[in-house]
Amino acid sequence: QVQLQESGPGLVKPSQTLSLTCTVSGDSVSSGHHYWSWIRQLPGKGLEFIGYIYYSGSTYYNPSLKSRVTISVDTSQNQFSVNLTSVTAADTAVYYCAGRLPDYFDYWGPGTLVTVSS
Amino acid sequence: DIQLTQSPNSLSASIGDRVTITCRASQSISNYLNWYQVKPGKAPKLLIYVASSLQSGVPSRFSGSGSGTDFTLTISSLQPEDFATYYCQQSFSTLWTFGQGTKVEI
């Protein structure tokens, strides 16, 4: 059974960088089956796709976040990570990692709340 | 970006009720529409993919239909564990987008 788990600081100061890691168990990030993705849920709003990385290192980012986002993969640790720079209160959200197939997300982590505040 | 609009935003229902949630796309997305169930603190769960295919392990009381711009998620007989927020999501365009969610409450 594939499981994903997000980890990282729950509180980040404005203008700093938000960094989260997703640990994958039950599958290999190198298997080539999934595009490893990040999604967030802004308070009182819907879900927003942030971006994904393929095991080869190729990436795609939401154009609205592209200038601030970097997603990377660590095959030795079976993890992938997201960095979001220059955060503001508007980046406060529950952040999810997920495994994406060509047409849908089939695996998700439980999410982690990140609050941006001084 | 393709906009997805769900209705209603929330609904109140009782155990055993038939519940229908709709999702309308701002342009045709063929059948590239998925449905997820989200509960606080839990991993979101894929229910329906490509409009009408039931994900493995999902109870058969969940069903999906539609194509083009109009889609429906139906729960034939609401169970206690079904109280949650439901999201549609399109995978037609390069940038995948979600609806705003429908909260199903008691």
Q: Can you give the pLDDT at residue A45?
A: 85
Using an 8 Å CB-CB cutoff, list residues of chain A that contact chain B.
Answer: 4, 41, 45-49, 60, 62-63, 96, 98, 102-111
Q: What are the pLDDT digits (tens) for A20-60?
A: 999 999 999 999 899 999 999 998 888 999 999 998 999 99
CA distances B70 to B3, B8, B41, Å, are 12, 14, 30
How far is residue A18's CA from residue B79's CA, in Å, rounded to a whole number? 38
Q: Which residues of A touch B46 (CB under 8 A)?
A: 104-106
CB atoms B100 and A60 under 8 Å: no
Q: What are the pLDDT digits (tens) for B39-81?
A: 999 999 999 999 999 999 999 999 999 999 999 999 999 999 9
B28 DSSP β-pair partners: none
At residue B12 the predicted structure's pLDDT band, cuts being 50, 70 and 90, is very high
CB atoms A47 and B98 under 8 Å: yes
Q: Check whether the bond before A14 is cis (ω within 30° of 0).
A: no
Torsion angle, CA of A102/A106/A107/A111, rounded to 10 degrees?
Answer: 100
SS3 A23: strand
Q: Can you give the pLDDT at residue A44?
A: 83
Tell me which chain B residue has its CA closest to the CA of residue A113.
B41
